[in-house]
Chain A
Amino acid sequence: MLWSYTKTTAFYMLVLVIVVISVFPFYYAILTSFKSGTALFQVDYWPTSFSWDNYIAVFSQGAFPRNLLNSVFVASTTVLLALFLAVTAAFALSRVRFRGRSLLLMTILGVSMFPQIAVLAGLFEVIRALGIYNTPWALIFSYTIFTLPFTVWVLTTFMRELPIEIEEAAIVDGATPWVIITRVFLPLMWPALVTTGLLAFIGAWNEFLFALTFTSSNLTRTVPVAIALLSGGSQYEIPWGIIMAASVIVTVPLVVLVLVFQRKIVSGLTAGGVKG
């Protein structure tokens, strides 16, 4: 009896440790973001003072609102583009047998394993040649390298699971492949599209290396680069309060999205159509 009691306690202690370690840095960032002045430099474990100063500063000085807009624009355009290209490709890769299919899938897998740095020099040249350096389009263009293989791969896996009977019925009714995709499969694929899109969105939202390299002015930067380059008057004056406020602003939507969609992410790929 005592032994089982100890075991339960130990287990819940472990659970508590996991939860605290996971959540604490985010909690502490929120705590810091609401401090100002000298309160910043006192270590507190619980909220002691409260002020909106840092948030006001983030939005009033610098180009942070513009950076936020850039991030939203770049990430959503990237996702829409990747989904559009991936849906048709995934249909071909999952429902049609043709020669070289496995080679193609292998290539796509290979591209997603690419170290981004390996293409950085070449991409820089292409982006300069296209005249889109230092615009959001440079980022939308380059982010395709990781969003597209990912969406193609996941949607291919998903489409393969859709029952063949649905498609056969459509073929019997005389539907062309295009009609099958748009009228038959797409309605079944909404959950998968939402989750894949969400994951690709987060990927594009968080990307740093390309964003750092292909933009060069305050007004074209995305949020991660803006946060990384936020600095104070001198090297020794890092504006921690403002950085934390910006971090919280960027992270809260993501955390909310992930928590709201955690069930969707789970069911995303099993919910479509008759389960095979």
Chain B
Amino acid sequence: MSSETIVPPKVVLAKPIKSELLTQRVAAARWFLIPMLVALAVVAGWPLLRSIYFSFTDASLTDLYNAKFVGFKNYISWTTLKSGRTIYSGLLVDPVWWNAVWNTLRFAVVSVFFEAVLGMIVALVLNAEFKGRSIVRAAILIPWAIPTIVSAKMWAWMLNDQFGILNDLGLRLGLLGEKVAWTAQPDTAMTAVLIVDVWKTTPFMALLVLAGLQMIPKDIYEAAEIDGVHPVKQFFRITLPLVRPALMVAIIFRLLDAMRIFDLIYVLTPNSSATKTMSVVARENLFDFDKFAYGSAQSTLLFVIIAVMTALYIWLGRVRFDGGIDRCSGVIPRQPPFICWCW
């Protein structure tokens, strides 16, 4: 008797018809995918391979095709002098490059940290019920909608050493003793870049976190309220653990994004070695200094670093690719205009 109830009633399927339909669909799918795949191969795959190839040659901007293969010379090479001293040269011993690596890492970690904290605060505010919530939501969309170049220029003007409003405000409020040349001085240039980046990208973070917050069932808070749990404790024991997946996705996307920052630094603090990042240095070598192969080596190294980070992320986060793309993490931010769909 019991054996009858256990047997799963699933074996009855019209197999032949289904598979015919299936073949047709799979064939169609192939044709639908080919244009996209060709496009991606031409704009991404091939150029990437060529960039990596150039990094092993002595190519120059004016002479791309007669480049000779030089092995790892751009990365590292050494010559031993008669005196027995060995002199190393190449990317891996280049202080300018390591300075750029350090700048990039510093920028990425600090900016993402502040964006996460402030984004969390803004998201908590937006998650509360209050009059004028839609105005706040509209307002925080403004930094996000402004092009990076434009925001860099706006802030460059506000941070201007002589006529900038921030120096004026700082003097009036007594926060500053004297006018500061924010973008020009080496010790404040990075701060200036961080301020602008945090201002610009916190909204993105807030929207992603807000999406996570809105998925938390309200009755958990009701139960906590009845049990008399203090709001601060509620935040650390309920909100933070439950919003963590959304927050982590946002943080990792932002980290990957921050690692390749170029435009803000190029415009806000040009020529300041205190803020030059890997992308800025690589482009300089590629197109300004006529060290095309050397620049290719730098961009290849940056690619490797980001690829390793991405692989780690996929491995650690166990992103499910089949049947379960997370609706919020599915949107990949490259340029600012990326938003989560489920606020």
Q: Which of A's residues lie within 8 Å of B, judged by CB?
A: 11-12, 14-15, 18-19, 21-23, 25-26, 28-29, 32, 40-43, 45, 85-86, 88-89, 91-93, 95-96, 98, 101-102, 104-126, 128, 141-142, 144-146, 148-150, 152-154, 156-157, 160, 171, 176-178, 198-200, 202-203, 205-209, 212-213, 223-225, 227-228, 240, 243-244, 247, 250-251, 254-255, 257-259, 262, 265-266, 268-270
A82 to chain B: closest residue by CB: B39
Partner of A122, one of B35, B48, B137: B48
Give the contact-size bracket for chain B: 35 or more
The 12 listed contacts between A and B (C-beta, < 8 Å) are A14-B121, A19-B140, A22-B203, A117-B302, A119-B43, A121-B51, A122-B47, A153-B331, A199-B338, A206-B148, A228-B263, A250-B147
CB distance from B341 to the nearest CB of A (A): 5
Q: Which of B's residues lie within 8 Å of A, judged by CB?
A: 21, 24-26, 28-30, 32-33, 35-36, 39-40, 42-44, 46-51, 54, 64, 121-122, 125, 128, 130, 132, 135-155, 157-158, 160, 162-165, 168, 199, 203, 256, 259-260, 262-263, 266-267, 278-279, 282-283, 286-287, 292, 295-296, 299-300, 302-303, 306-307, 310, 314, 319, 321-322, 325, 327, 330-332, 334-339, 341-343
Partner of B153, one of A40, A93, A105, A247: A247
What chain B residues lie within 8 Å of A116 (beta carbons)?
A: 260, 262, 279
Known: A14-B125, A25-B155, A118-B303. A258 touches B25 (CB 8 A): no
Establish whether residues B165 and A112, one from each chain, have CB atoms under 8 Å apart when the complex forms.
no
CB distance from A276 to the nearest CB of B (A): 12
Known: A18-B125, A40-B163. A121 touches B338 (CB 8 A): no
Establish whether residues A123 and B330, one from each chain, have CB atoms under 8 Å apart when the complex forms.
no
Given contacts A121-B47, A122-B49, 18 further A-B pairs with CB under 8 A are: A11-B128, A18-B122, A29-B154, A85-B39, A92-B30, A113-B306, A113-B310, A114-B48, A114-B306, A119-B51, A125-B64, A145-B40, A178-B28, A208-B148, A208-B263, A244-B154, A244-B157, A270-B342
